[in-house]
């Protein structure tokens, strides 16, 4: 058995994988593969509608928001957000809490002025910068809720006098949020929601149509809303698997129940990191992520042998991102706590062997 701690694409629930595999051969007894059915068929329309309504239900989304399933990954949203929201000559505020936030703000510079109101770059993004004032004259504030590479997470969202846009790629549906606090949320599906190939966008309708800018159809949220994410051929399979995963979350008791499990998993792992003399955490304790747990070996020479031990125990995807080094255990929704216990036991066994 494998214990998948990979950061992205991340782990999906076994039940979802089984159902998806079946659908590849015979989708809902149609005699066709999910890969073959028309995106305009009533069967796919039902999938899309279910996915949209699950997003609304799980996030208790108020009226006035549209839910889109788009392509191009979160990276396309880095540009699509300012393209659609930032007027010519306008200004947007960005918190630079990691490389993804940095990439997002660089794209925004193509469309207007960018105020980087806080950054933790000088500390290799090992903490979430919190000391800032949100400029009231900016069009929106851009945040990254979870910094996948560094293992930091916004535990509390800052109050903002202007609309908040948030990249939730690596912690979407992992915890309860107050959806009304956000004007736009986007997330590549491939960490906590589904396979790569689809990007979720939740956007407050009243935000749109204010830039005075001509926007090509595929990059235009309003066109995508008017076409109900079917302006062109959507990623049918990725939307289907996301729908199954959202149903899996609902069946587990929703986001609140998942959040409890996620906190328990993270607590167990951080407790071991802090207790075990051979390892140490890499980021500010108060900003530690409940999704990506980053740590290093106190002695760099222990890194390779620990990875070897992990490999022997079926623990995969634990090597840290190249810009941070060490280890990164991604403990997304679908990772069972039993896998976390296997990792903890490996750390204890390693410490015992290397006393």
Which residues of the shown chain bind ligand PLP in the complex (CB under 6 A)? 8, 73-75, 100, 144, 148, 167, 169-170, 188
Shortest distance, position 271 Cβ to ligand PLP, whole Å? 25
Q: Can you say whether the dihedral through the CA atoms of 329, 250, 177, 79 is positive or negative?
A: positive
**In terms of CB distance, is 23 or 175 closer to ligand PLP?**
175
Shortest distance, position 92 Cβ to ligand PLP, whole Å? 17
Cβ(70)–Cβ(235) below 8 Å: no
Query: Using CA atoms, how far apart are residues 169 and 200, in angstroms rounded to an integer?
Result: 9
Establish whether 252 is a catalytic residue: no
Establish whether 191 is a catalytic residue: yes
Establish whether 260 is a catalytic residue: no
Q: Is 148 annotated as a binding residue?
A: yes
Q: Which one from 191, 204, 265, 287 is the annotated catalytic residue?
A: 191
**In terms of CB distance, is 177 or 297 closer to ligand PLP?**
177
**In terms of CB distance, is 120 or 144 closer to ligand PLP?**
144
Q: Is 40 annotated as a binding residue?
A: yes
Shortest distance, position 75 Cβ to ligand PLP, whole Å? 3
Q: Is 74 annotated as a binding residue?
A: yes
Shortest distance, position 112 Cβ to ligand PLP, whole Å? 21
Q: Residue 202 forms beta bridges with which residues?
A: 67, 185
Q: Is 274 annotated as a binding residue?
A: no
**In terms of CB distance, is 98 or 112 closer to ligand PLP?**
98
Q: Which one from 2, 106, 131, 167 is the annotated catalytic residue?
A: 167
**In terms of CB distance, is 19 or 75 closer to ligand PLP?**
75
Q: Which one from 100, 171, 204, 248 is the annotated catalytic residue?
A: 100
Shortest distance, position 154 Cβ to ligand PLP, whole Å? 11
Q: Is 232 annotated as a binding residue?
A: yes
Q: Binding site for L-glutamate, residues?
A: 40
Catalytic residues: 100, 167, 191
Q: Binding site for pyridoxal 5'-phosphate, residues?
A: 74-75, 100, 148, 167, 190, 232-233
């Amino acid at each position: 058995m494998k214990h998948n701690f990979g950061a992205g694409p991340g782990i999906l629930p076994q039940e979802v994988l089984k159902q998806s595999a079946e659908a590849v051969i015979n989708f809902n007894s149609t005699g066709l593969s999910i890969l073959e059915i028309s995106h305009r068929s009533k069967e796919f329309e039902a999938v899309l509608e279910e996915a949209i309504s699950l997003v609304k239900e799980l996030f208790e989304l108020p009226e006035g928001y549209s839910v889109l399933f788009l392509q191009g990954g979160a990276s396309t949203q880095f540009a699509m957000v300012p393209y659609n929201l930032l007027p010519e000559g306008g200004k947007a505020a960005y918190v630079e809490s990691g490389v993804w936030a940095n990439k997002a703000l660089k794209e925004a510079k193509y469309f207007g002025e960018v105020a980087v109101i806080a950054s933790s770059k000088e500390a290799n993004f090992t903490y979430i910068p919190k000391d800032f004032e949100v400029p009231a004259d900016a069009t929106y504030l851009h945040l990254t809720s979870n910094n996948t590479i560094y293992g930091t997470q916004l535990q509390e969202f800052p109050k903002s006098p202007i609309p908040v846009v948030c990249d939730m790629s690596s912690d979407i549906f992992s915890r309860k949020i107050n959806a009304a606090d956000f004007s736009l949320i986007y997330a590549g599906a491939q960490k906590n929601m589904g396979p790569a190939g689809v990007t979720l966008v939740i956007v407050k309708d009243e935000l749109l149509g204010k830039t005075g800018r001509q926007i090509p159809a595929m990059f235009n949220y309003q066109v995508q809303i008017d076409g109900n994410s079917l302006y062109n051929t959507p990623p049918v399979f990725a939307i289907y698997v996301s729908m199954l995963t959202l149903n899996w979350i609902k069946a587990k008791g929703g986001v609140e129940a998942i959040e409890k499990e996620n906190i328990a998993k993270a607590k167990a792992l951080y407790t071991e990191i802090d207790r075990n003399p051979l390892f140490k955490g890499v980021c500010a304790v108060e900003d530690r992520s409940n999704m990506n747990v980053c740590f290093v070996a106190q002695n760099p020479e222990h890194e390779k042998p620990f990875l070897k031990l992990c490999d022997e125990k079926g623990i995969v995807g634990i090597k840290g991102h190249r810009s941070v080094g060490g280890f990164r255990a991604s403990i997304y929704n679908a990772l069972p706590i039993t896998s976390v216990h296997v990792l903890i036991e490996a750390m204890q066994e390693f410490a015992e062997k290397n006393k």
